[in-house]
Structure 1
Amino acid sequence: MTTSDAPPLRADARRNRERIVAAARELFAEAGAGVPMEEIARRAQVGVGTLYRRFPERDELVRAVATDYIERLATLTRAAADEEPDAWRALRRLVRRFAEPQLGALSAALKVALPDAFIADPDLSQARLHWIAQVDELVHAAQADGALRPDVGTGDLILLISLLTCHLPELPVHLGRSLPARYLELTLDGLAAPSAAPLPGVPVAASDLGAASEGVTRGAT
């Protein structure tokens, strides 16, 4: 049964589920996805039995947090597109938001816990591709406005965000916290048009990321 096929929950059960997912989201970002289930129940202020009724297996909870994470990215993208005066400012806002430490830590924790889920799980893959399509629309609009360099693809942008939010373990703590924001601003300046020099290779498009998702999904069936 997929998430979309699940029967609707009663109001109290839905609230408990939302509290559990919110608590897990916070704790995964703080301590990784291996945090004890009992600690998640305490943070959510629900009984351990309630947690296990909603999520009998840890993987089910991790997938619920992953779905919530992608939905949050989509919400942030919609808000930026609606509220900023142009696509380039919306993209700059998004890149900065996605690179915030809590979102970056949550993304890293989910990738460790479910390394292939974002492309192998049908629900997660569909949600991810929907979000990529939102970003792709902004990228093309910013390029049409002449604000974003034309030799950058949506895939380039998304992969850059992933690289910028990876905290290298060998770095001193104070550098690991400060460098992502510093390099983020350098990256944003490098993305702006006009560019000083052409990039080697070819742009990574949104369709390249989608093709990778479809290939893994077909292989899993």
Structure 2
Amino acid sequence: MRRDAKLRRDALIAAAAESFAERGYGVPLEEIAARAGVGRGTLYRNFRDRETLALAIFEGEVDRVEKAVAHEQDLRQSLIDLVLAGTRGTALFARIAADIVADTENMAAFEALGERLARVLDPVATRARANGDVRADIDGEKLGLALRMVSGLFHDLHEGPAGQRKLEDALDLVFDGLRPR
């Protein structure tokens, strides 16, 4: 992809994420294009519909998770970093999840993205199992579920000491369920 085309595509993804977060999933696509500084034709050359635009946003969020888990740190710190880095994506997903009606092809893409997230989190689960931090049945998919649970709680909180305490409390509860018995 040419550099200028990639810049326009990235601008569309950023504009869509901001627009969906502010106004919901039903925001007119023309407004997203205008916010990105491109025409409607550019939007449709890059994304055939609203769902493929949402998929691109979430692919970017999984990319962020992948970068964050590349650091070999303990499970608790990994989850804290992932929650903090993924707050925007989690809030956005919660905002549009109720409104999205994906067709069969897009639903398959959403499911594949969930499977990719599980694969990205598998090394974190493997390290945690090896350290005795989690039960033997905890894998990337279950860590993803725990991450979504904690992130769903956290996305409404503001940064700072109070938000950090709530995050720590939520992780304590989650870790009680993940630890070996």
Q: Taking structure 2 as the reference length, what is the TM-score of the superposition?
A: 0.71
| Equivalent residue letter for 1:177 | L
Contact 1:67 1:124 in 2 (8 A): no
Contact 2:17 2:92 in 1 (8 A): yes
The one-character-per-residue Cα deviations of 1:73-124 (angstroms, maximum 9, x if unpaired) are 323322x43xx4x4553344224433x2x2221121342343668x974444
Q: Match of 1:160?
A: 146
| Equivalent residue letter for 1:41 | A
Q: Match of 1:177?
A: 157
Instruction: State how 1:61-210 maps to structure 2 within 5 Å.
Output: 61-78=53-70, 80-81=71-72, 84=73, 86-98=74-86, 100=87, 102-114=88-100, 121-146=107-132, 148-150=133-135, 153-154=138-139, 155-166=141-152, 176-177=156-157, 182-190=165-173, 191=175, 198=181
Q: Residue 177 of structure 1 aligns to a residue in which SS?
A: coil
| Aligned residue-pair number | 173
Residue 152 of structure 1, CA deviation? 7.0
Q: Match of 1:218?
A: none
CA distance in 1, matches of 2:75, 2:151: 22
| Gap change, CA 1:13 and 1:138, over 3 Å in 2 | same
The one-character-per-residue Cα deviations of 1:160-203 (angstroms, maximum 9, x if unpaired) are 33233446xxxxxxxx535875443113234179x6x94xxxxx
CA distance in 2, matches of 1:113, 1:65: 16
| Gap change, CA 1:56 and 1:187, over 3 Å in 2 | closer
CA distance in 2, matches of 1:23, 1:153: 36
Query: Are 2:15 and 1:23 aligned?
Result: yes
| Equivalent residue letter for 1:188 | L
Q: Taking structure 1 as the reference length, what is the TM-score of the superposition?
A: 0.61
Residue 23 of structure 1, CA deviation? 1.2
| Gap change, CA 1:36 and 1:28, over 3 Å in 2 | same
Contact 1:104 1:165 in 2 (8 A): yes
CA distance in 2, matches of 1:24, 1:51: 10
Q: Which is greater in Rg?
A: 1
Residue 47 of structure 1, CA deviation? 2.3
CA distance in 2, matches of 1:182, 1:115: 36
Residue 19 of structure 1, CA deviation? 1.0
Q: Residue 98 of structure 2 aligns to a residue in which SS?
A: helix
| Equivalent residue letter for 1:153 | I
The RMSD of aligned alpha carbons is 3.5
| Gap change, CA 1:64 and 1:156, over 3 Å in 2 | closer
| Equivalent residue letter for 2:47 | F
CA distance in 2, matches of 1:177, 1:131: 24
Contact 2:90 2:151 in 1 (8 A): yes
